[in-house]
Amino acid sequence: MASPLIYLIDGALGWTNKRAGLMVIAKMVPANEEDFYRYTTKRWLSNDHLEASKRYRKFNIHELIYAALRSSHAEKRTCINVMKYREGLYNKSFLITFDDGSEVVAKLPNPNAGPKRFTIASEVATMDYVHRRLDIPAPRVLSWGCDASNDVGCEYIIMEKAKGVSLGDVWNKLARPLKNKFIQQVVDMELKLASTCLSQHGCIYYTQNLPMEHQCKNAYGLPRDGEIEFSIGPIADPILLSEERLELDTSPGPWYRLSDYAISMGQNEIIWAKNYAKPRFNYYQSNTDLETPTDYMALIEKYLAVASYLTAAESPNPEFIRPTLWHSDLHLNNIYVDFTSQTISDIIDWQGATVAPLILQARTPRMREDKHYEDALCYKYYEVQTAKRNPLHYAAITHNDTWKLPCIEPVKSVCEAWSSEEVFRLRSSLLAVVDHWHELSLNTDCPITFTEEERNLHNEELENRDYIGQVIENFQEAGLLPADGIVDPQGYEIVKRTSDIQKGSSRWLIPKKRKHGWTNCGHIRILAKNSMNTFRVLESP
C-alpha cells in the first residue's frame, strides 16, 4: 500500500496501526500550521497554482480541536495530536486523537466541494437518513456547522472515525472468495437504496436547516423519524448552486418528474450562457476559430425540442423513473470492512448523494481502474450478483444501453455542458437521438436535424479526440505523462521537466495533414485528462 502523507502538530514521527493482522504504516512528518490549509497530497502539471487555490482552506485549528472536544463531551481530556488524514480533491479530513486513545474525524470542505451551507447540510442529513431509515452503516455525526461564520471559520463535520479498514488499502491482498463476499454486501446495500421510494428529485436535508425560501416553496417533506424531520431540497451541486447561477432565474430543484428536471436543466443552461459564457478555443475543433456561446445555445435549443419526448413518455418499468437515493462516489476507499465478522462496517463520503430517477443513478461501483484479469472477474461477479439480488438496478443499467424510452443520455449530458467542457458529449447524444429516432416508437417525426456540415465537423472533432487520446495513452505507457496530469509533490520537478522536454520532441506524433489548424509543426498540444474525463490543454505550440 502506498504510504499516505500525513502531517501532525505534536507526537511521534511514525505511526503503526494493527488491524485484523494487517499492518498499515503511515509516513508522518512534522507540520507547520500552513500545511493544514494547503492541499499537500498532489500537484498538477497544468495550472498548478490555480488547482491548489481551489483547495486552500483557511480555518482556526485550535477552535476545530475545541469543537471536537465539545462534540465528544471530552472537555476534560487533552488532544495529543492532529493529523491530516486521507486528503481528497474536495475535502480535508483530520484525525484528532485524545490522551485516552479515543479518536474522532473532522471533515472540512474545500472551496471547490460545493455550495456554501448546502454541501455540509445535505451530507450530514443524508448520513443520518441512511443510518436511521435504511440501516446502512455510516459514521455517526457528533457535531457540525454549515455556517462559515462559526468559531472554526469554515463549515465542518465532526464524526466518529470509520470502523474497520478501508478496502482500498487491502483489496489487492484479499483472496477472491473474501472479495466476492464483500461485493455481495455492496449489492445488498444498493438493494436497500433501490428499494426506497421517494417522491422528488433533489438532495436530503434536515427541514430546519433549509433556508426559509426553500422550506416554503421548494422542500418536500419526508416521513418524520421521532423528532427528526427530513426534506428534499435543492441539489447540492457546486455549479447549479454557484453564486453566479443563484443570481439568475435558474432552478436547482427539487423536481417532481423526470421531464421537469430534463427541461429545467436545458433552461438553466440557456439562462447561464446568455449571461456568462464567453467565446473560447476548442482545440479539438480548431486552433484558429472560437467555439461560441451562440452555437452552444442553439445546441441547447435542439435538446429542449426533444427532451419532453425522451422523458415524458411512460416507461415500460415505472420504477426506473422513481426518485431513488444513491451513493454518487462508491469506490473501495469509501468502503470500510471488519475482518473479524467479514462484513462492511461503514460507508463513508455521502457528500453529493442525490435523490434522482434510478436510470440517472444506475452505475457500477469503481473497484479498480486497471486491466488486471482479477479485477475483470470482480466486475463480472458484481454484474451477476446485481442481476440476481438487485434486478431493478441491473435492469436500469442495461436499459441505458438500449434505445427504449425514457432515453436519458442527452439529459445526463446537458447539465453544465459548457462549464465542464462536455459540449461534444451533448452533441454526440443528440446526433444519436436523430439517427435512432425511429427506434423510440414515437408517433411523430424527429423535431431536430443536423446539417451535413455539422456532422462533418463533429466527426472531425471525434477523430481529433481519438488521436489525442492515443497520444496521451502512448505518453502514459512510456511513463512520460502521469494519469490525470497529477503527480506526487516529491517528484513534481522531475516529471515537469520530462513533460516539458517531451513537448518539444513529439514530431513523430503529429498528424500528417492539416485539420482545422492541426499541422505538422514539430510540436504538439499536450492535454491532461481531468476528473470529468475530458482533456485540458497544458501548453499551446
Q: Helix/strand/coil (H, E, C) string of 92-113?
A: EEEEEEECCCCEEEEEEECCCC
Collapsed DSSP state (helix, strand, coil) of residue 448: coil
d(CA 179, CA 372): 15
The single-letter DSSP state of residue 256 is S
Beta strands 141-145 and 156-160: pairing type? antiparallel
| Region for residue 220 given its phi and psi (left: phi exceeds 0; alpha: psi -120 to 50; beta: otherwise) | beta
d(CA 384, CA 39): 40
- Tens-digit pLDDT profile for the chain (541 aa)? 333 333 444 333 223 333 333 333 345 556 678 889 999 999 998 889 999 999 999 999 999 999 999 997 766 788 888 998 888 999 999 999 999 899 999 999 999 998 889 999 999 999 999 999 999 999 999 999 999 999 999 999 999 999 999 999 999 899 999 999 999 999 999 999 999 888 899 999 998 888 766 654 444 556 666 668 899 999 998 888 887 887 888 889 899 999 999 999 999 999 999 999 999 999 898 888 999 999 999 999 999 999 999 997 666 678 888 899 999 899 999 999 999 999 999 999 999 999 999 999 999 998 765 556 667 889 999 999 999 999 999 999 999 888 988 999 999 999 999 999 999 999 999 999 999 999 998 889 999 999 999 999 999 999 999 998 888 788 778 777 777 788 889 888 888 887 776 655 443 444 433 344 333 333 334 444 343 333 343 443 3
What is the torsional sign of CA 228, 260, 248, 155?
positive
d(CA 40, CA 27): 14
Q: Give, in words, the CATH class of 5-170.
A: alpha beta
Dig out the grid coordinates for 456 from the structure: 462533418
Residue pair 292/307 in contact (Cβ under 8 Å)? The answer is: no
| pLDDT (0 to 100) of residue 64 | 95
Q: Give, in words, the CATH class of 174-197+320-399.
A: alpha beta
Dig out the grid coordinates for 116 from the structure: 456554501
Give kind and range of the element (H or E) at residue 511.
none
d(CA 364, CA 385): 12
Residue pair 100/132 in contact (Cβ under 8 Å)? The answer is: no
Residue owning grid cell 423528532 = 227
CA atoms within 13 A on the CB side of 501: 7
Alpha helices, H only, 108-224: 118-134, 167-170, 176-194, 212-217
Longest dimension (CA), the chain: 75
The domain ranges of the chain are 5-170, 174-197+320-399, 469-539
| pLDDT (0 to 100) of residue 530 | 41
Torsion of CA 104, 110, 116, 118, to 10 degrees: -60
d(CA 350, CA 326): 9
